[in-house]
Structure 1
């Protein structure tokens, strides 16, 4: 197979690009670090969107556009799992479907915030509804991407029997721990205050640190794989 060297290198670096574009929207423009309190009433949420209408709309657009930056790294992860499987087997297909759902989730989370910000004169209850939809979708929708870490861990620790594995074993253990530590985030659906809420320690801060760490580390893990196995 003739490999596209540019796209492979882009795949190795695009996790960082995704983090930068997403972070520009989420952190720099929207100041969702921490997010709007889930316990805030409809009037307070609507006022936030009215006061920061333009920046929140720009933030939502950045979050949606970040989906494009995540495409190459997603494709590369699927290729790496296929390499480990020595063909496109069940694990590869499951990885592809899981990452596709993550891309959809990422886009529509931004779309929800854009809906909340679009009409500054909208009824506060409707603004709050769209805001809730965005946060619950991205933070509570973890089943749509949690399996990516589980599948990568399985590929590294179970499927890859090579003496010199495609990915280091520690990558498998790290992904497994990320999945385990992310799982309690599902509790955001049951709490609007405290550590399990979408702005709490378990509902937001721990997953946020893991999310940032994963994408920050991705070029340093993926570039050696691309050099050794795809560009050699």
Structure 2
């Protein structure tokens, strides 16, 4: 007698697993949130509050008091508080690409911890310093001047965590044998990191090219960083686009077979 498989009607009506057309939708959502975050970040720091370009370290006390008690600073801090959570999304775009590389997890963890530290000192500290100064009108001029220095030195003079972060990112690209990102981007990243070391003198200089608003420590470093950041995201865009669907971490969720119905019976 030939073998016959009898399946219950209930199991035959079980729907097939949903296989989305775009399996990289989660990566694309994270990717496109990054320019949204940086645009909000730029609006908050430039036209809304005029924290950037940086005001001079040797500004007269009346000018510092007027700036620190500006009502626009409170609005800027409120907006920044709402979008602060997008910073980890931008860092996740880097981390998912490093995870695809044939390098030690230490590179991924270095970028992750460096980005966390950088978000605290480079965004959270200035947010509270400038926000606290504008929150209450009763602070004396010496307190406002201290918050003024704290905010700018935290934003511009805290590049140590970023140096470790970008060095790990650049070395990961150079050592990777999977060619997730182009090798030249790794060397460019390492060079960009070295150029950020010129910001260290902001803790010493109060005027000139090495002050926190100087030609070298702000304008030159910012021009390098912005151009590098644009190039990085173009390369990440291509890396996401060129990644095969079967190499996605969640590919097995889409390709696994429909589980059999326990009520099905095989009768010989």
Higher mean Cα deviation, 27-36 or 55-64?
Answer: 55-64
Q: Aligned with 1:85: secondary structure?
A: coil
The 2-side partners of 1:4 and 1:113 are apart by: 43
**In 2, distance between residues paired with 1:68 and 1:230?**
30
| Partner in structure 1 of residue 215 of structure 2 | 201
* 1:103-147 deviation digits (Å, cap 9, x = unpaired): 222222222211122123311111111111111011111012222
**In 2, Cα distance between the equivalents of 1:146 and 1:74?**
15
Long gaps (5+) in structure 2: 1-19, 247-268
2:29 aligned residue: 10
TM-score, with length taken from structure 2: 0.76
CA separation of 1:4/1:69 partners in 2, compared to 1, >3 Å: closer, same or farther? farther
- CA distance 1:108–1:210, shift in 2 (3 Å): same
1:231 shift after superposition? 4.7
> Structure 1 172/224 Cα, relative in aligned 2: closer, same or farther at 3 Å?
same
Cα deviation per residue 1:16-62 (whole Å; 9 max; x = unaligned)?
22220110011111223321110113332012233xx2212222334
Mapped to 1, the partners of 2:244 and 2:144 lie a distance apart of 48
Residues of 1 paired with 2:219 and 2:209: CA distance? 9
Which structure would you say has the larger Rg? 2
- What residue ranges of structure 1 are gaps of 5+ in the alignment? none
Matched residue, 1:124 = 141
- State yes or no: 1:39 paired with 2:54: no
1:192 aligns with 2:206: yes
CA distance in 1, matches of 2:176, 2:169: 11
Once residues 84 and 184 of structure 2 are traced to their aligned partners in structure 1, the CA distance between those partners, rounded to angstroms, is: 27
- Which residue matches 1:29? 48
User: Structure 1 residue 66: deviation in Å?
Assistant: 4.3
What SS class does the counterpart of residue 36 from structure 2 fall into? helix
Once the two structures are superposed, the pairs formed by residues 6-85 of structure 1 within 5 Å of their partners are 6-50=25-69, 53-85=70-102
Of 147, 160, 168 in structure 1, the residue corresponding to residue 164 of structure 2 is 147
Q: Cα 1:202–1:187, aligned 2, differ >3 Å: closer, same or farther?
A: same
1:24 and 1:62 in contact (8 A); partners too: no
Mapped to 2, the partners of 1:111 and 1:120 lie a distance apart of: 15
Q: Who is 1:227 aligned against?
A: 241
Note closer, same or farther for the CA distance 1:8–1:200 as it changes in structure 2 (3 Å cut): same
Match of 1:97 in 2: 113
Instruction: Give me the TM-score of the superposition, normalised by structure 1.
Output: 0.87
Deviation of the 1:64 alpha carbon: 4.2
Match of 1:211 among 210, 225, 238: 225
Larger helix share, 1 or 2:
1
